[in-house]
Structure 1
Amino acid sequence: MKILHLSDTHNKHRQLTDLPDADVFVHCGDFTDNGTEEEVLDFLNWLIELPYPHKIFITGNHDICLWEATSIEELPDNIHFLQDCYCEINGFKFFGLAYNHPESLIPHNIDILLTHEPPFMILDESNGIHWGNSAIKSAVFKVSPRYHLFGHSHESFGNLELKGINFYNGAILDNNNVINQRPKVITL
């Protein structure tokens, strides 16, 4: 199975053309800039148009109007808004932790964890500051998913493996909000 992972598009999603093929499209938050309903609707319409068989997204710190939402009405069945819940695709369990919600909600027995914030000191540096979350880091090593996908730190795009967990920061914008990375395809 192939996952196309990206994050932190900040209303620039329509600039993304010629995206690579994948079975699952994952966006780890900050698809808006100001968190307005209009921005969310534009993103959702774009997401619906994408040709991927499965699409998953979670909220980031900019997606304010969806922070407390538990679902979004009338989304197609192949789009999963993971707000402290999980879905299973091709035998893989994806769990999405809503932005600013307690890491204690992350369950055991998941394969792929989606958060907006990175774990502290893991692909979290931007402008010399570590933007990661210590509580998420502790929870990730306790739960031990096979993959942890996130964004938030614009200057730390990339991946690394640590203690059997594959970490991926999918933030594709730089600190000037210019697209400077190509979304990564993860092959499971």
Structure 2
Amino acid sequence: MRILVVSDKESTYIWDHFDREKFKNIDLIISCGDLKAEYLSFLVTMINAPLFYVHGNHDRTYIYNPPEGCTCIDDKLVVFNGVRILGIGGSPFYNGKEFQYTEKQMEKRVQRLIPKIWWYGGVDILVTHTPAFGLGDAPDVVHTGFKVFRRLLDKYKPKYFLHGHQHLNYANGNRIIKYNDTTIINGYRYHIFDY
């Protein structure tokens, strides 16, 4: 299964110079947040593949104008082509706006998902906006990763962990990190991989 992951900055390569041929084999699109709703609707229409998304800390417009034709997987575990995908959006709390959480609030969200994870027998792809603590995050309050995400990785060992929030042009931005049995992919702009 070929997956297109997008996050944080709309790609002019895709949006302004779309070439259907380059994306004809995409089976699924996953957004890790902070993209315009119109961009996600464009992707799902032009690529003609399902699009799952979680909220980023700048996605407050989604409350009134969600991306058309796309599926929000925030706080959900969905199965697509036999692949179990868990979505948990949001960023660390820093100014009190929508989709921001303290570590304790994020822990409570994750706790509510444990029965679903158990029911489905685990997770294959974890999708978040913010990285896990110490795995592609940054030391400032806005970009520090969640410790509870790291515990999820340690306990359930998903094959992939997709996130955004940490732009690749930031000081320690890495596209791909290997952590135990999990491949961590920063979806900044876009990245295509085969599951």
Measured in 1, the distance between the counterparts of 2:144 and 2:16 equals 26
Corresponding position: 1:112 with 2:113: no
| Secondary structure of 2:155's aligned partner | helix
Gaps of 5+ in 2: 91-100
1:185 to 167, 170, 192: 192
Gaps of 5+ in 1: 33-39, 173-182
Give, as a single letter, the amino acid of the residue that structure 2 aligns with 1:116: H
Measured in 1, the distance between the counterparts of 2:184 and 2:48 equals 23
Shift of 1:161: 1.8
Measured in 1, the distance between the counterparts of 2:163 and 2:26 equals 18
Corresponding position: 1:93 with 2:93: no
1:134 to 147, 155, 174: 147
Corresponding position: 1:17 with 2:18: yes
Aligned to 2:58: 62
Measured in 1, the distance between the counterparts of 2:178 and 2:113 equals 20
Question: How many residue pairs were aligned?
Answer: 163
Corresponding position: 1:6 with 2:6: yes
Give, as a single letter, the amino acid of the residue that structure 1 aligns with 2:147: S
For the 8 Å contact 2:29–2:44, the answer to whether it is kept is no
Corresponding position: 1:159 with 2:163: no
Measured in 2, the distance between the counterparts of 1:88 and 1:16 equals 32
**TM-score normalized by structure 1?**
0.72
Measured in 2, the distance between the counterparts of 1:14 and 1:24 equals 17
Measured in 2, the distance between the counterparts of 1:157 and 1:138 equals 21
For the 8 Å contact 1:157–1:169, the answer to whether it is kept is yes
Please report the RMSD computed on the Cα atoms of aligned residues, expressed in angstroms: 2.9
- Cα 1:166/1:44, change in 2 over 3 Å: closer
Shift of 1:85: 0.8
| Secondary structure of 2:123's aligned partner | coil
Identity of aligned residues (%): 24
For the 8 Å contact 1:159–1:167, the answer to whether it is kept is yes
Shift of 1:104: 2.5
Give, as a single letter, the amino acid of the residue that structure 2 aligns with 1:4: L
Shift of 1:157: 4.1
